[in-house]
Structure 1
């Protein structure tokens, strides 16, 4: 069976519905005033296509570690939901064992915010809680609540240094409600 855009859209809708169902109890983000909805619905259009990804990941998170590991990967993104969503298929050649994962994004025209979910084949029965946010002055910041090692944390994704052929992404965790942040993963994207 081939992966046509229509089939991809159907998969994206199914995954987004599953993500919504698993996070429906979480507090919904409040509307953002003064957001140009027509402009921001296209915030991720630049990411459409195939990318080479260089990962730089902290080996132990929220443990005071300073030891990092580097590995390669790929990402391929397409638009869904008539441009109000995206899905990306990711391959991570991590030293402990390569795996695939899917990023799902959806733009909420009522709140003016993007929601981002992560689904990892190693834990295929669990989709990560979403992070919410958007772009301002060329930087996209998205945050949300999660747990790590059984304790509540804040998670932040940030996109920056975006050009037609490159971009920088990073992830940070906060164990203290956002007072301090530990950056634990960065990715350098280069268009394939």
Structure 2
């Protein structure tokens, strides 16, 4: 990639998608009960291709809501930053996860809080070379020694 070329890392996700969500009912509590729900999203590039915005509609059992993922690429570091903005809390951006793609897998991390306790947050992008990419979210209460995957999103072209 030359200095003027946009970063293609998220090109696999551009366009409209049906999303199959699976989320643990309780996080970091030994819960094994998952709730499944549908959603949709549309992703488009911004910042001349060195960023993108993903507009989501999630249909949770308790009710639907909208949210966006906002992503930007720093050419100097080679890292992406990803922020999540939940329509139910429209003035609060979540802490950004920072990371990059290597060998087709995107790995992004941040320090965050869960119910006031410090946790390590991880996003993974998997199967990015297929027509059915997957996103996973995991938390660690022990600084990243162990991880609990608590949310997955499987994408299908709309």
**What range is the shorter-chain TM-score in?**
over 0.9
Q: Report whether the alignment pairs 1:70 with 2:3.
A: no
Deviation of the 1:162 alpha carbon? 2.0
The residue correspondences of 1:105-184 to structure 2 (distance < 5 A) are: 105-184=71-150
Deviation of the 1:123 alpha carbon? 1.1
Q: Distance in 2 between matches of 1:164 and 1:139?
A: 12
Greater share of residues in helix: 1
Unaligned runs of 5+ residues in structure 2 are none
SS at match of 1:42: coil
Distance 1:179 1:37, change over 3 A: farther
The TM-score with structure 1 as length reference comes to 0.78
Equivalenced residue count is 157
Q: Distance in 1 between matches of 2:6 and 2:156?
A: 23
Q: Distance in 1 between matches of 2:93 and 2:40?
A: 20
SS at match of 1:63: coil
Q: Distance in 1 between matches of 2:130 and 2:105?
A: 15
SS at match of 1:177: coil
Greater share of residues in strand: 2
* Greater radius of gyration (CA): 1
Deviation of the 1:40 alpha carbon? 7.9
| Corresponding residue number in structure 2 for 1:90 | 56
Deviation of the 1:97 alpha carbon? 1.2
Contact 2:73–2:81 under 8 Å retained in 1 = yes
Deviation of the 1:37 alpha carbon? 6.6
Unaligned runs of 5+ residues in structure 1 are 1-35
